[in-house]
Amino acid sequence: MNISLFPVHNFNTYLVTYSYNIMRTSSTIYLALSALISNGSHAFQLSHHHVVSSRFASVQSVTSLGSTKSSSAPSVVLDRVFEIDSRPIILFDGVCNLCSSAVNLALDWDPRGKLRFAALQSKVGKNLLQAHGRDANDISSIVFVTPKGAYTKSDAILGITQELNPLPFVPLKPLALAGQYMVPQILRDAVYDGVADNRYSIMGKRDVCRFDADGEFDDRFVDDNLAEV
């Protein structure tokens, strides 16, 4: 009896193609959701929150973020932000509209408040970058900072996704773990870079950073004063 085996090289080609399509589809969904939020539509009506402009107020120009006060050493700031609060921190591009929309989405999909946020351009953000060996002005990637270390690009996205819970009893952690082990990092990062490198052309940028204006999310945004001496 003859048994036809699927050629190994064909299987590898299939696996790479399949993995790439998964990441491309995920990115398309992500961009679509972000666009919906930024235009005032609320994806799936997950919460009572309003559009981006109602959550944040623009109060600081990017050039004014560097305070005239003395700053603490990066390692000191790192210890401070996790001293009494061990929740991970998402460092995002504060002038990127796409990134701000993604922050809104994360706030909606994290009803238990397991994540915190800070702009990459903020004093805390710059210190956390330096504490993990990155340039203080490097805004090329989202950074997911935990007490155990920091993650960038697709690893950051998957780490964040593990903490999200878009619907009751529907955690995204299993999906994130599957993506981590089934899709090669080189493919995941390639898709991430494609989106990140074009984020300003996709949804534009602003000249100011944003913060929680009405205090509704006070405990979700890291206090920038933690970087002061």
Q: What are the residue ranges of helices labelled H in the chain?
A: 8-38, 52-55, 74-83, 97-108, 123-131, 153-161, 173-182, 185-196, 199-203
Higher pLDDT, 119 or 9: 119
Residue 193 Cα to chain centre, angstroms: 13
Tokens 């929680």 — which residue? Answer: 212
The torsion region of residue 168 among left (phi > 0), alpha (psi -120 to 50) and beta comes to beta
Q: Give the residue carrying structure tokens 């560097």.
A: 66
Residue 226 pLDDT exceeds 90:
yes
| Alpha carbons 199 and 221: distance in angstroms, whole number | 22
What mean pLDDT is predicted for residues 194-213? 80
Instruction: Write the pLDDT tens digit of every residue in 129-181.
Output: 999 999 999 999 999 999 999 999 999 999 999 999 888 778 888 989 999 99
| Nearest-angstrom CA–CA distance, 6 and 124 | 53
Dist. CA 62–CA 206, nearest whole Å: 9
**Spatial separation of the C-alpha atoms in residues 152 and 39, rounded to whole Å:** 28
